[in-house]
């Protein structure tokens, strides 16, 4: 049960219960709809860049899903505000590695380090990465199966 406790840490449960930045963002913003067809989780991620177009001014999400996917999206939005685009994408990669690789570097991840607990539950990695994949799609850095809506 200790692995379970690592997965469902208090912070995860708290964010799942009261997700931060859980709101739709009016255009103009980057937006993508993420969907995990296996479990039916759906997530919309909205990103507003600053005037330079290189830094995240605001980021929010809407959606439904398990505690892991909701907490991951909530903590992602909390972490990303003010980050540059390369920093944001690097963080996404680091979180993914944290959840899938035993020797992953946890430095610089801040609160996101709690998702290390997902490593013992390979079936749940997709839940935790859905928000990050959707963010990537929203920023238009890789093709998404969902239409990428950008009105900027």
Please give the residue ranges that form the binding site for another protein (CB under 8 A): 1, 3-4, 7-8, 13, 38-42, 64-68, 121, 123-124, 127
- Residue 94 CA to residue 84 CA, distance in Å, equals 15
Q: Between 8 and 144, whose beta carbon lies closer to another protein?
A: 8
- Find the shortest distance in angstroms from Cβ 32 to another protein: 19
Token digits of residue 56: 């995240």
CA–CA separation, 63 vs 39, rounded Å? 13
Of residues 76 and 94, the one with the C-beta less far from another protein: 76
State the minimum distance, in angstroms, from the CB of residue 9 to another protein. 11
* CA-atom Rg of the chain in angstroms: 15
CB of 1 to another protein, least distance (A): 6
CA distances from 136 to 1, 23, 53, 82, 92 (A): 34, 18, 15, 16, 8
The 8-class DSSP code of residue 8 comes to: T
Q: What is the DSSP letter of 146?
A: S
Q: Which is nearer to another protein, 65 or 92 (CB)?
A: 65
For the chain, the maximum distance between any two Cα atoms, rounded to a whole number of angstroms, is 48
Shortest spacing between CB 65 and another protein, in angstroms: 7
Q: Which is nearer to another protein, 116 or 141 (CB)?
A: 116
């Amino acid at each position: 049960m200790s692995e379970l406790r690592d997965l469902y840490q208090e912070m995860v449960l708290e964010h799942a219960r009261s997700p931060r930045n859980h709101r739709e963002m009016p255009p103009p913003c980057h937006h993508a709809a993420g969907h995990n067809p296996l479990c039916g989780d759906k997530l919309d991620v909205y990103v507003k860049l600053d005037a330079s177009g290189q830094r995240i001014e605001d980021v929010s999400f809407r959606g439904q899903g398990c505690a892991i996917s909701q907490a991951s999206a909530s903590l992602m939005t909390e972490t990303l505000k003010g980050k540059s685009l390369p920093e944001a994408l690097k963080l996404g990669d680091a979180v993914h590695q944290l959840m899938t690789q035993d020797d992953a570097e946890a430095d610089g991840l801040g609160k996101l380090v709690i998702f290390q607990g997902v490593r013992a539950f390979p079936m749940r990695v997709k839940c935790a990465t859905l928000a990050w994949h959707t963010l990537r799609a929203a920023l238009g850095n890789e093709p998404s199966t969902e239409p990428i809506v950008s009105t900027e």
